[in-house]
Every structure is written in structure tokens, then in C-alpha cells.
Structure 1
């Protein structure tokens, strides 16, 4: 249930802050785009994959909706990676595309916030 409520709250907050002009910097706009991609990617997985998995086919609608699973993971082998990390068997750690978008967006928003704060301090010093 929480995995359906949190994205809806996040989308609502993004819309409110967008209307207030909180994302004027190009870096912030890229971050919001990545954040939206991550949110919609995870929502799509939860809503669609929860209905396609054989293990929960007999479960009711609400259970399948709330217990939807995220499956957009990438797993691939890298040449010579097994030489660096022998226990990996050459496999790079699997990662989730949507969550990666959300993490990159968070870093970009953090950097953008630091830049805005530095610019505000510089402007206050000039005034």
C-alpha cells in the first residue's frame, strides 16, 4: 500500500513545486524529468507486474495491486570483471532502472540546491 501512496504524494508535491517555479534551473528540470521517469517506471511495474506473476494469480485485485513487484532490473556480464571481483563470476551487480533515475535525480537536486545557496550568498554579499 505504501508503495502506491508515496509515488502519488511525490507526484502531487512535484506538481505543486513546479507551479511555484521551484525548478527553474536547467539542472533542476533534468532532475525532475528523471524523478518522473523513476516514479512512473516503478508505478508501471507495480501496477502491471503484480497482475502477471504466476505466484499471486489466485490473489484478489487489491492484494495484487498493493503487492506489485518491480522487475525492471538490468543484469549483465562485463569483460574481465571476474578478474577484479572473482566472486562475481563476471556479473556486474544488478540494478533497477527506475530507482537509478530517482537516485540520480536526488543527487542533481542536491547539487542544484548547493549551487542556488552559493549564488544567494554571493548575491547577498554584493548587495
Structure 2
């Protein structure tokens, strides 16, 4: 069980460290082109995924903080209960680490720092960070695990 929480801690550490580096080297809105399809940027997301509710007036910070705190408690319980289910626990550990990484930003800064920015010509995917990546991969693993379980029944 400790390995799943250790993985979550690694995700949090990597997320916070990369955000720290961006905050040290970039001013808000700055772009650095890396390739023809990828830039490093510094954006601030006051909402949820894809800036959902970013301009809601400030109440969303506390709403997303509360939702994330409850989710972290539930996920921790699920990891403890199902720690021997590798794929399920791996997915949960990644989601937990990502959620805590973004929660830390939201509590300390009032927004989440995003810096990975992919695009094709003038079509841009919303900027994201290591925490968001861990959450997406974790959810993908949870979906894969659910299909695996449904095939066994």
C-alpha cells in the first residue's frame, strides 16, 4: 500500500518542482517555442479543467478546493481497500498525486500554474501541467481496469 502513496508523493513533488521552475523563469503569458507543435508557457488557471468556471468570481476556488479534498479522502480510502489491485491502485495513485499537486497551487496561489502547450498550426490545446497529465493517465488506467473487470464477469 505504501508504494501507491509513494507514487502519489512523487507525482506531487514532480508537479510542484516543474511549476516552480516555470514560475522562476517565465512571466505570466510568456511563450517559449520548443518545436513546431509545442511551447512552454506560463498560464494561470483559476477554474477547473480547460479553465471551466475560471471567470466565476472567486467562489470556484473554494468549491474546487472542497471537491478535491473530499476526492483525496475517498481515493485514499479506495487505495487502502484495494491496494492489491495493481491497475486500479496505480490509476488512483496518479489521480491522487495530480489532485494534490493542483490543490496545493489553488490553496497557495489562488490558481493553478499550467505550462505545457501543444498546438497544430493555429489550433491550440489548453495548457496543462504534470498534475493534469497524471490525472488523465490515471483516469485512463481506471477506465482500462473497469473494462478488464467487466470482461471477467
User: Shared fold (TM-score greater than 0.5)?
Assistant: yes
The structure having more radius of gyration, on CA atoms, is 1
Correspondence list, 1:108-123, <5 A: 108-119=141-152, 121=153
Segments of 5+ residues of structure 1 without an aligned counterpart are 50-67, 122-127
Matched, 1:100 2:133: yes
Comparing both chains, which one has the higher relative contact order based on Cα–Cα distances under 8 Å and sequence gaps of 6 or more? 2
Q: Which runs of 4+ in 1 moved over 3 A?
A: none
Gaps of 5+ in 2: 1-61
- Structure with the largest fraction of strand: 2
Residue number among 45, 48, 51 corresponding to 2:105 in the alignment: 45
TM-score when normalising by structure 1: 0.60
Counterpart of 1:87 in structure 2 is: 122
CA offsets 1:101-127 (integer angstroms, 9 cap, x no match): 1121111101101101212x2xxxxxx
User: Are 1:35 and 2:95 matched, yes or no?
Assistant: yes
Q: Give the corresponding residue for 1:69.
A: 111
- Tell me the number of residue pairs that the alignment of Structure 1 and Structure 2 aligns: 92
Report the CA distance between 1:25 and its aligned residue: 2.3
Contact 2:105 2:111 in 1 (8 A): yes
Question: Is the Cα–Cα contact under 8 Å of residues 46 and 69 in structure 1 kept in the other structure?
Answer: yes
Structure with the largest fraction of helix: 1
CA distance in 1, matches of 2:135, 2:144: 14
CA contact (8 A) 1:27 1:109 kept: yes
Within the candidate set 49, 71, 74, 1:10 is matched to 71
Would you say the 8 A contact 1:45–1:72 is kept in 2? no
**What TM-score, normalized by structure 2, do the two folds share?**
0.51
Report the Cα distance in structure 1 between the residues aligned to 2:68 and 2:122, rounded to whole angstroms.
36
Query: Is contact 2:72–2:100 with CA below 8 Å preserved after alignment?
Result: no
Alpha-carbon distance in structure 2 between the residues aligned to 1:17 and 1:92: 32
